[in-house]
């Protein structure tokens, strides 16, 4: 596995086309855009809200748990023409099989929604992180204008 930078969601902002997600490491912030419904799901999980019935990401985690698996981490691995690619890393071990690590291709939005619920860390591949534009000043401008950004 390449060198990684640990990140966390620091702001989510509804936009006309969906939701802007800001991820940061304490020194730098990046932004990408996701579906509004998944943004709301991430915000609810960050706020510790429990829906009356399991949402899709909750159901996924419950299914993993039923099979003795857990989310180890989520990693954003690539960007191509403003489309982000990620991997969800799972660990499974139960009475039938020894410890197994599984890496699944996933949208970053789903990775974030699942990782937040599971309390799993999120990362960006370091080489990619260094190439991405720092959006900290944009985020600060939004905060200065009093925008409700959700997130951490």
Residue 91 reports pLDDT greater than 80: yes
Percentage above 90 pLDDT, the chain? 71
Q: What is the mean pLDDT of residues 47-66?
A: 91
Q: How are beta strands 69-80 and 122-125 bridged, if at all?
A: parallel
pLDDT greater at residue 100 or residue 148 = 100
Residue given tokens 């809200």 in the structure block: 49
Residue 1 reports pLDDT greater than 80: no
Residue 78 reports pLDDT greater than 60: yes
Provide CATH code, domain 4-144: 3.10.690.10
Determine the pLDDT at residue 151. Answer: 59
Residue 146 reports pLDDT greater than 90: no
When the pLDDT of each residue in the chain is averaged and rounded to a whole number, the result is 91
Q: What is the mean pLDDT of residues 67-90?
A: 95
What is the C-alpha separation between 126 and 130, in angstroms, rounded? 6
pLDDT greater at residue 121 or residue 13 = 121
Residue 39 reports pLDDT greater than 70: yes
Q: Which residues contact 23 (CB under 8 A, 6 or more apart)?
A: 7, 8, 9, 10, 29, 30, 31, 76, 112, 122, 124
Percentage above 70 pLDDT, the chain? 95
């Amino acid at each position: 596995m390449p060198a990684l930078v640990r990140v966390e969601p620091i702001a989510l902002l509804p936009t006309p086309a969906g939701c802007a997600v800001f991820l940061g490491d304490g020194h730098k912030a990046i932004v990408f855009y996701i579906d509004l419904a998944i943004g709301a799901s991430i915000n609810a999980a960050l706020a510790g809200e429990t829906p009356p019935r399991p949402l899709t990401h909750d159901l996924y985690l419950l299914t993993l748990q039923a099979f003795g698996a857990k989310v180890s981490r989520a990693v954003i691995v690539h960007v191509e023409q403003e489309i982000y690619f990620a991997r969800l890393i799972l660990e499974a071990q139960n009475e039938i099989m020894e410890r197994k690590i599984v890496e699944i291709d996933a949208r970053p939005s789903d990775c974030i929604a699942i990782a937040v619920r599971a309390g799993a860390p999120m990362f960006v591949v370091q080489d990619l992180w260094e190439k991405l534009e720092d959006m900290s000043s944009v985020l600060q401008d939004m905060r200065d204008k009093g925008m409700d950004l959700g997130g951490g």
